[in-house]
Structure 1
């Protein structure tokens, strides 16, 4: 087939290249391994013959795998070029060229879809051109009615100008009122923000006071523990003083007995009597000192008990005050939260009022533009009447264009019919 290569021609071209490559390879190897004489030529001929045999086998296989299936692909392409899009390339017969066959079939499908789409579009163009012709006929009748309506619009626009002018003044007054309200809301919002800042400062002061009171509570508790410990130790000292008093009384009694025994002993017991007297004096002094210390310890215990009672009462009052301050802190937190909520609400209201104010400004500008447009609408109505005449001429041109479009659609359909889908 025209455009394809025969097996013998393809094999001949390949063998020529293989012989040239085999000789070149054999000579190169001979020089590399230093072959001489007959071995050199046998090596060259052997490599060349082996290359020819292997190359021939590979060439025949490649011819069957690639060149022979190319005939079917070329046939399919020629049919597509002739306008026959209904034929398909058998992808099972083309072997390794299957991806190409699939792509060609897909391209044919795409062309078929395109032809169908063009056919639909041309039909739609024909229908639309017919509808356009009908619309132009209706447009002739509508233009006369439009001319009458234009005159009525000119008369009605004068009344509309008066009403819009009144509306413009009312909207302007409302806009000024909203501007004043917006200013008041912004002032209130700033006052709310200032109040919130002060409430936050008060809350911080309360929190600092609570921290100081907590530190003071720890110190009061520590002092109470020290006073209690002091009271307990003073009681232990009282017990020791009582023991000392008992010992001094016993010592006094023993010294008295010793004096009596010394008197009985006469001259020999005089020295012992002196010692017994000194011991009795020391016992009496110890008893008196113990009594004084006991009184002092009792006074200290009384004062320590009063101090413990006062500290406990003060701690109870402190706990109550701390609880009240904590409640005040919670109240401040609630106040701050409420003020922040109110501030957010005022901000939202302020933003809304600003939007309304901007909207009313836009309405004022729009109303002003409408007044200006309405003022000029009467004059423009005359221009519209003139434009209706131009519209008649344009309608005639549209009708002619619709006829040309219909003819082009007919020509396109004739061209599409040449394709077989």
Structure 2
């Protein structure tokens, strides 16, 4: 089993213990909560209702006494109210009660409460006040005292029952706490024991492996005791340690043999490196002569390539300039075509604008005619108002002459005169507005006529510009065609020059290649000569390193 699985099992056991303790605590807390809920929600309410019954029993007795002493009907009404309240409280207690003995006591109190109500009603049937008082003292008051006494006893019994419930809850809490403490102590002890066993199981083989690692670090590769019974990762680690020790032992054996062979080979290499260095010096002298002649030929070829490159670059710039001019000319022609189309569209829009302005001028003329007609009508209304004012004035004079018989007519004449004055004022205001409108219509008509003349001039100017754009468009088309022909010819010449330049560059490249290779050979011979010297020195150094390696390998203790 792996270490991870062992740890998982340990943690799972601890988790199971925690879950068991938590479940036990939860069940006990639910039981405790139910008990407290019963105390608070049922028993406390029942006790409160019993207190109400006590109070209402006393209130009934006092209210009936008050009625007998004072004859106050309100006291009698309070008695009936207290009786009803006591009955309702007893009914609530009866619904919540689950004890047969308590239910019997409650039913007895309900009977007594009903008997008090019935007895009180029967006593009131007597006509003599003295007889009513005697009956109340003999029959009603003893019943009321009996109810009060029974209610007191029942309340005391319920209070004792509640106190017993509280004591039971406290005992349950103490029992739960005791059980939880015991469970926690047991779980803690089990966890500590499991941790100790797990640590001991893991630490012993690790100590053995640590000692083995220290032995290897000290250079001792002899077999050591790594027997581990664990079948987990620690057991695999012990096997790997033993394999590593064995592999290192074999490696040191091989290194020792290789160091001896290396020492012998380095001595032989030193002797052969000296002979190779002498031959390389003769080869370097011959290669140097070939290099000097190749450099002279390469310089002449480079000058020819430079001249051809300059000529090809000039032709390439001419071709590029011709192509750029052709592109610009084509773009200009496209812009001229677009501008020509926009100009034609503008001519159409100006014509539409001219027609709209002419229509507006005709409509303004009609408005001017209508305003003149309205002005004439307003003058007629003003004249009618003046005539009506004169007629109302004459009517008022005639009414004044008629005396009392003409008073009503005088009032009508006065109202007519006021109406004619208001009509005259309104007509004058309308006439002033019409006059202002006529002036504005006249100004707008002149403005519109001026706009018509300006639109005619604009149409003529745009048509002339359209003709000029047509001529420019034709000329641009011819220019673009000629420029494109020049650009094509320039590109052909440039392509020919590039082919010539490529041929010359190929010749120069071959010459440079030859020169470069001879230089490379010369440099290579020089480098080879230097390498031979370095090889000789390295062989001597390698011989010394082989001796050092042999000494280092001898530090390890092997079987």
Answer with 1 or 2: which has the greater Rg. Answer: 2
- Larger relative contact order (CA 8 Å, sep ≥ 6): 1
Same fold judged by TM-score > 0.5?
no
TM-score, reference length from structure 1? 0.39
TM-score, reference length from structure 2? 0.30
